[in-house]
Amino acid sequence: MVSENKKPSVWEGFKAFLMRGNVVDLAVAVVIGAAFTNIVNSVVKGMINPLVGAFGTKDLDHYSSCLKPPCKVAEDGTVTSGIPIMWGSVLSATLTFLITAAVVYFLMVLPMAKYLARQAERKAAKEGVQEVMEVSELEVLKEIRDALVAQRGPNPGPDRE
């Protein structure tokens, strides 16, 4: 005999998990986010760093301070002596994050919030119309009751004397 309470297999559960819409949406978001990160990194490294370098003396990634002198960094980026603090790289990464966050907020979050607010207003307006219809139905029923009472006249009913 086969029991009717057969548990789904691990494979079936995994398949159901993958077929949910939110998993696919998340995968698409990760892929687009990775591609977008490359664009932002290119903008920071190709435009912002040189602009900062134009006001200073070098590219933003090369700004550093020396914690323990003498600081010497080879051409390949390896530290030969001292302890350098590479604050330019941190500033560059911070700018990359801020630009990414601003673009995501202004191009994705803000428009979606406005869209959802409009949808909520439409739903509230639709519910308001339904409430008005319910109130008007109640008013009609009261008018019918009043008309029936008026038709009966001033004669008291069987239980009223």
**pLDDT of 45-102, one tens digit each?**
888 777 777 777 667 777 778 887 787 777 776 777 778 888 888 888 888 788 878 8
Task: Work out whether the CA dihedral 79, 80, 83, 87 comes out positive or negative.
Answer: negative
pLDDT of 118 above 80? yes
Confidence of residue 161 (pLDDT cuts 50, 70, 90): very low
CA separation for the pair 118, 161 (Å, rounded): 59
List Cα–Cα distances, 33 to 36, 147, 160, in angstroms: 5, 68, 79
Confidence of residue 13 (pLDDT cuts 50, 70, 90): confident
CATH code of the domain made up of 10-118? 1.10.1200.120
CA separation for the pair 123, 135 (Å, rounded): 18
- Count CB-CB contacts under 10 A for residue 21: 7
SS3 of residue 42 by DSSP: helix
DSSP state of 80: E
DSSP state of 9: P
- Tell me the range of 56-70, 90-104, 112-126, 127-141 where mean pLDDT is highest: 112-126
Domain residue extents for the chain: 10-118
pLDDT of 141 above 80? yes
Predicted local confidence at residue 30, as pLDDT? 86
pTM of the model: 0.50
Tell me: the pLDDT tens digits for 15-52?
A: 777 777 677 778 878 888 888 888 888 887 888 777 77
